Structure 1
Amino acid sequence: MTTNPDVVIRTLETADEINAGFRVFLRAMVGLPIRTVDATEITDPGRYLGALDGATVVGGADSYGSWLVVPGGGRVSHAAVTHVGVLPTHRRRGIVSRLMARQLRDIAERGEVVASLRASETVIYERFGYGVASSVLSGQVDLRRARLRPNLPSGGVVRLVDAGVTTELLAGIYDQAAWPGAIRRPAGWWRQHEKLRDADPTVHYVVVHSSDGVDDGYAVYHPVNTAGWFTSADKTVMVSDFVALNDSARAGLWRHLLSLDLVDVVAFESLAPDDPLPLAVLDRRAVQLGSARDETWLRLVDVEAALRARSWGGEDPITVHVTDSLLGANNGTFEVGPKTVGRTDSAPELSVDVATLGAAYLGGSRWRHLAATGQVTVHDPDAIARADTLFASASAPFSGTTF
């Protein structure tokens, strides 16, 4: 890899520059369905970084201002990193490295505690301090053999809002998300997904669930392969967005989806690794889950603030030394426990880089697994079990949001 000092990294300022940056992203990603969009409508002002070779934008990295739910239900300020790409003509010149390093400094200066992204290529981002903090599964239910358990909660009321759906309605429900790993979906995210739906000729259906008159869940779904719909032996509906704030909403939405007429299979794009859907039917083999794949790549931008924000299991603290090659303020040893979180002069029991700490932060990766794969330097073997207890989460971290 060679660096090109003539390429300048700076914030994209004008509408023409921002749209040029977004076109670079589309060209770099190759297969995205969106081609014509005003990028100023789907981005946050002042956050889109560009790499300029002369007057030409040849690379970019963007982010949304957001929040992330951490174990215990607290929310930390969060940068949702997206639109990262470099033109094929400018690869292998260190441009992505410069963009990501500059972006992290900007995020830190804004006071945002964490950043996360969804990786198109999994070998890129660990060197910038991102670790895999949550995983996601796909799933499908064969309605010909799926019968819900008779004692499943009855749920509330499900209403059809296909024609009358508004972003405000769905965002108002989603903004109450409290599961570990959930992030705020900014206005630009909602606008982009509106445009994606508008560009898709397939009809999308939306249902909203309410309990005691209060909206507390929704599902967005669409038929697959409509050209052969009436001759297909496996007429499939794909659920692209499923949000349930409680057990009543989850059960009510399941009842709706699993009772659709003219449908053989209900498929879910993304489920949490511990989603209870397989337990909801009498025949567990009616639910087929896909392989786990990486979802949230998490970067702790302010390690101490992030550690203070979440809750902890167990009583016995650990001391862990953290190294961060890009944000030196994070370097140091921290005592972590339910009573005390902060820097310490005590000897570390475990040592990790910031990417490994990010992987463990939400409870999605076990410390013993990280240690077994050489990602933790263990000074005290007893500390691994204590770390697993401390960092455990009541539910598997899961976002359910792509960006």
Structure 2
Amino acid sequence: MAVDVDTLYGDDDLHAAGALFRAAMVGLPPLPPHSDHLSEPGRTLGARIDGRLVGTAESYTSWLVVPGGARVAHAAVTHVGVLPTHTRRGVLTALLRGQLDDIAERGEVVATLRASEGSIYERFGYGVASSFARLDLYRGRARLRDTVPPSGAVRFVEPADAWKLFPQIYASAAISWTGAIDRPGYWWKLKQRTAAEPTYTVTHGPVGAEDGFARYHPVDTANWFTSRERTIVVDDLVATTPQAYLGLIRHLLSVDLVDKVTFAFAPVDAPLRHLFTDERAVGVAGVHDETWLRLVDVLAALARRTYRDASPVIVEVEDTLRTTNSGRYRICAGEVVRVEAPAEITVDVAGLGAIYLGGSTWRQLALAGRVVEHRAGAVEAADTLFATPTMPFSGTFF
């Protein structure tokens, strides 16, 4: 049974794709009212069998910050779904192969996604490149250390105004942490239309020169005044300076009638607990995979990130879907080039994606048999080359 993949443009097809995705995901709410203009034109694919739409995949034009701070051309892949009546018929394979071809033609060197299931995307070359932590901050135990530096003023912004201001702050700020991605207008519109109510929005810094913002909402408002654990959930916190981070944390600590502040998405190595005299004021509620990364152009992607000073390593990459990536690469701090010399390490493209941002190490993958060492000491040298000072983190779900 042939699967035909094409680009969807018309409103009817785009709405059908949105409804199909929700049917495939089962647990998502219906499309919000006035949900047009949430897709980037020309980047929604549809898969048809006998003329019927049975699968869809979408992406946004974006950038990704890689180790060293460079922003590389990046496709943010989202809304991938196949009708439950048409799974295991090659629909997903046809969609993702077609999408990778489209991404490559656009000159985007990497693609990332957030996975609804953990067993699907590795076979398409995606590896888990970053994780996020869910943190609980208990206000009753949270006393800031006297050594914590001062921060600037925080002000409330009406949510209607915040949805205009926050994109401006994010677009103009020097977003430089490894794993960060662009947030196009489509992303902001979808977040606005699906945000919890009530939502509170604050910014840090003087008007016109804001360097951070936060968005949060209360949980279980029906029992708010009788609850023994009144909780606010921080849905988004962006701080582009240390002062902004400290200022926003101080604001959250100052909100009365709150027992617990939950950070829905935080870096795995977040500095939050170090701010308090009792570090147990911060608890880790869970750690989950965040960025699934696919190197679309291996040479270009490897060449854009930085490396530590260490002896060069020759890495053989295996890519069964995009065979032009398969080959051997000599990697050192000064350059990355393709070579014909014998490989010292072999890894598939999904494994390399997991290592690329610094979220996993060569040693970890070697222990799992996903990296093969051909020269003694090559894995150790590769880990020195690829080491990063912080864990990667995006903070943007799409």
User: Is TM (by shorter chain) over 0.5?
Assistant: yes
Measured against aligned partners, the alpha-carbon deviations of 1:85-130 in whole angstroms (never above 9, x if no partner) come to 0111111111001101110011001110100000000100000000
Q: Contact 1:159 / 1:208 at 8 angstroms: preserved in 2? A: yes
Map 1:184-195; keep pairs closer than 5 Å. 184-195=182-193
In structure 2, C-alpha distance between the alignment counterparts of 1:167 and 1:65, rounded to whole Å:
20
Q: Contact 2:347 / 2:371 at 8 angstroms: preserved in 1? A: yes
Match in the other structure for 1:73: 69
Deviates more, 1:38-47 or 1:321-330: 38-47
Match in the other structure for 1:311: 306
Match in the other structure for 1:99: 95
In structure 2, C-alpha distance between the alignment counterparts of 1:163 and 1:212, rounded to whole Å:
16
**Aligned residue type for 1:344:** V
Deviates more, 1:62-71 or 1:344-353: 344-353
In structure 1, C-alpha distance between the alignment counterparts of 2:241 and 2:330, rounded to whole Å:
34
Q: Across the two proteins, how many residue pairs are aligned to each other?
A: 396
Q: Contact 2:159 / 2:199 at 8 angstroms: preserved in 1? A: no
Secondary structure of the 2:254 match is coil
Deviates more, 1:337-346 or 1:206-215: 206-215
- Give TM-score, length-normalised by structure 2: 0.97
Q: Contact 2:19 / 2:30 at 8 angstroms: preserved in 1? A: no
Secondary structure of the 1:120 match is coil
Q: What residue ranges of structure 1 are gaps of 5+ in the alignment?
A: none
**Aligned residue type for 1:350:** I
RMSD: 1.3
**Aligned residue type for 1:245:** T
Q: Contact 2:32 / 2:194 at 8 angstroms: preserved in 1? A: no
Secondary structure of the 1:44 match is coil
Identity %, equivalent residues: 50
- Give TM-score, length-normalised by structure 1: 0.96
Q: What residue ranges of structure 2 are gaps of 5+ in the alignment?
A: none
Q: Contact 1:19 / 1:38 at 8 angstroms: preserved in 2? A: no
In structure 1, C-alpha distance between the alignment counterparts of 2:204 and 2:106, rounded to whole Å:
37
Match in the other structure for 1:271: 266
Match in the other structure for 2:126: 130
In structure 1, C-alpha distance between the alignment counterparts of 2:159 and 2:79, rounded to whole Å:
31
Offset, 1:172: 2.1
**Structure 2 residue aligned with 1:60, among 56, 59, 82?**
56
Deviates more, 1:138-147 or 1:154-163: 154-163
Map 1:313-332; keep pairs closer than 5 Å. 313-332=308-327
Offset, 1:34: 3.9
Match in the other structure for 1:148: 144
Secondary structure of the 1:24 match is helix
Offset, 1:329: 1.4
In structure 2, C-alpha distance between the alignment counterparts of 1:217 and 1:24, rounded to whole Å:
36
**Aligned residue type for 2:158:** D
Match in the other structure for 2:162: 166
Check if 1:245 corresponds to 2:244. no
**Aligned residue type for 1:133:** A
Deviates more, 1:227-236 or 1:379-388: 379-388
In structure 1, C-alpha distance between the alignment counterparts of 2:131 and 2:106, rounded to whole Å:
28
Secondary structure of the 2:105 match is helix
